[in-house]
Structure 1
Amino acid sequence: MERFVDVAPGVRLWAEDMGPAGPHPGEPLLLVMGANSSGVVWPDALVAQLAEHHRVIRYDHRDTGRSTASFEDDPYHLADLAADALAVLDAFDVPRAHVVGMSMGGLLAQLLLLDHPERIVTATLFCTGPLPFTEPQAAPPPPGPDPALLRLWAEMDDPRDAAGEIAWRVEHWRLLNGSGTPFDPAEFRAVEERVIAHTGRQDPAVAHARMDSDGIERGAELAGVTVPTLVIEAPEDPAFPPPNSGVLARSLGHGRLVRIPGMGHAINRTVIPPLAAAILTQTTGATTARV
């Protein structure tokens, strides 16, 4: 079932609710995608495996996919996107859910763990790092994105024709994928063609790169998290390279770390089976969150 969710005056989000396919479903599962990415970037094969055990909900962030493009007229903050995730759950009458966040979605999930732990059964975070710390840590901060990726991001909103836009996006995925698993350009061309068809336009989504993230220096608070949280390390991730995942897992009060060998910052077909298995091990073996 697809529907639009009103999250703020004049702002609507596209969302999709997929009923569980298995006979004994657990509590619902919310998928929270990364920056500038539509919810349809979640591979259907992954969603189908998760839906064998859960009702699965995915959605488009503001300024992505079919959701309202509002940033130019009414700039918002990272915290607003976290509030949007709760609004989606409310719209589908879901009091508590497993939350799975990738990249920026992992940062949003951390904000939810801090501010609304009663809404989260378990959390699974991958291709992400910890919220920033206000005080210097004993260890040096984890490394930032690969310079080659930063150079490509600088071209994100350069003017391009339709063919050039697709080519740029495929190259972006190639860098994100890394060299630890095979990269199939046709696979990610199909992803982006689907995104463009879903969105109804080809212009790049760039609002989240301009978004204000002030006020999220809350890394020290993660030690108080009691919701069971799994951090999945992608060792070839050029956006949040190791040891970002390890720092995040150690920062969490109830965090554990698993590693998917060869995985980068992309969900290609070769990493879907181990990724689904890791998520489902967390969600189907969950105990009640302590808040």
Structure 2
Amino acid sequence: MEHFIDVAPGVRLWAEERGAAGAPPLLLIMGAQASGTGWPEELVDALAVHHRVIRYDHRDTGRSTWAFDERPYPVTALADDAIAVLDGLGVARAHVVGLSLGGMLAQLLIADHPGRLLSATLMGTCALSTTPYTRPDGTPGELPGIAPEVLEMWSRPVEDRGAEAELERRVEHWRVLAGGLLPFDAEYFRALERRIIAHTGHYRAGTAHGRADDSGMLRTAALAATDVPVLVTSAPAEPVFPPPHARHLAQAVRGARVVEIPGMGHALPREVHGPLAAAILAHTAGRRS
């Protein structure tokens, strides 16, 4: 079932529900510049066996309002949008699953709206905390940065060279984000992006989230004191926030536990759908009301 939800003056978001209406709600929060249809159908279906799964398009993605140039907003507004989506669908409390920027937005929800969350799963993200990272041997450590090949691709200007060229740019982006431990299925990601472009109605690449003000996002004290049950996925091939970031999240977020998804990078290929769904469902089990 599809919806359009007014979340702010002049801002309307597309959302979709899947699964039994009476099942415990689970909100999927995508990463920067990513449509909600970036969540693979197979993964959504697996989660919908036990949940009322809600996915939505951020502002300036998919079928939601594209108006950053006329009405700029900070990144924190995207977390407010997530709460507005729940409000618009009459959901008092939900499990949340956030990927990349979505994982940061989920942390803002943990800190600022803990009463609205049944649990949270954080994927491919970093801690919104000044808590120092401690290596497994107990010594202080530094967190690794983004892989050079990712930075190089992100540094390239995105030019309109037509629909097929944009499609191939996106596939190459997924190749770099996948991390290289699993075989890369270009046709799978090409089909995914074709669905996203068809859903959006155009192939224009968004840039709003990269230009939005990202200040005021640290939540060190609130994350260290939370009672929200938190699962952190560790991806061994992760090129954006390599595995020490998952361990750091578990150190920064009270009670968080870590589960490794074999072969996973910063993408969601077929091979990770089963293990990822199993990890999320095991985390939400017993917390479904």
On whether the aligned pair clears a TM of 0.5, the verdict is yes
The alpha-carbon deviation at position 157 of structure 1 amounts to 2.5
The alpha-carbon deviation at position 217 of structure 1 amounts to 2.2
Name structure 2 gaps, 5 residues minimum: 135-139
Q: Which residue of 1 aligns with 2:185?
A: 184
Q: Which residue of 2 aligns with 1:154?
A: 155
Question: Compared with structure 1, are the counterparts of its residues 67 and 286 closer, same or farther at alpha carbon in structure 2 (3 Å cutoff)?
Answer: same
Contact 1:26 1:284 in 2 (8 A): no
Amino acid in the other structure paired with 2:240 = A
Identical pairs, percent: 54
Contact 1:40 1:195 in 2 (8 A): yes
Q: Which residue of 2 aligns with 1:49?
A: 46
CA offsets, 1:98-141, max 9 Å, x none?
Answer: 001011000000000000000000101111110142x7667344
Q: Which residue of 1 aligns with 2:113?
A: 116
Structure 2 Cα separation of the partners of residues 40 and 91 of structure 1 = 19
Structure 2 Cα separation of the partners of residues 7 and 131 of structure 1 = 24
The alpha-carbon deviation at position 158 of structure 1 amounts to 2.6
Structure 2 Cα separation of the partners of residues 234 and 136 of structure 1 = 21
Contact 2:133 2:143 in 1 (8 A): no
Number of aligned positions between the proteins: 284
Q: Which residue of 1 aligns with 2:12?
A: 12
1:251 and 2:252 matched? yes
The alpha-carbon deviation at position 19 of structure 1 amounts to 2.8
Structure 2 Cα separation of the partners of residues 260 and 273 of structure 1 = 10
TM-score under structure 1 length normalisation:
0.93
TM-score under structure 2 length normalisation:
0.94
The alpha-carbon deviation at position 212 of structure 1 amounts to 0.8
1:107 and 2:104 matched? yes
Question: Compared with structure 1, are the counterparts of its residues 145 and 108 closer, same or farther at alpha carbon in structure 2 (3 Å cutoff)?
Answer: same
1:34 and 2:31 matched? yes
Q: Which residue of 2 aligns with 1:174?
A: 175
Q: Which residue of 1 aligns with 2:202?
A: 201
The alpha-carbon deviation at position 26 of structure 1 amounts to 4.3
Contact 2:111 2:223 in 1 (8 A): yes
For residue 143 of structure 2, give the secondary structure of its aligned residue in structure 1.
Answer: coil
Contact 2:133 2:251 in 1 (8 A): no
The alpha-carbon deviation at position 78 of structure 1 amounts to 1.4
The CA RMSD measured in Å over matched residues stands at 1.6
Deviating above 6 A after TM superposition, structure 1's stretches of 4 or more consecutive aligned residues are 135-138
CA offsets, 1:193-249, max 9 Å, x none?
Answer: 011100000111111111111011223431111110000001111111120111001
Question: Compared with structure 1, are the counterparts of its residues 30 and 287 closer, same or farther at alpha carbon in structure 2 (3 Å cutoff)?
Answer: closer
Structure 1 Cα separation of the partners of residues 288 and 18 of structure 2 = 24
Name structure 1 gaps, 5 residues minimum: none
The alpha-carbon deviation at position 287 of structure 1 amounts to 7.8
Structure 2 Cα separation of the partners of residues 137 and 191 of structure 1 = 36
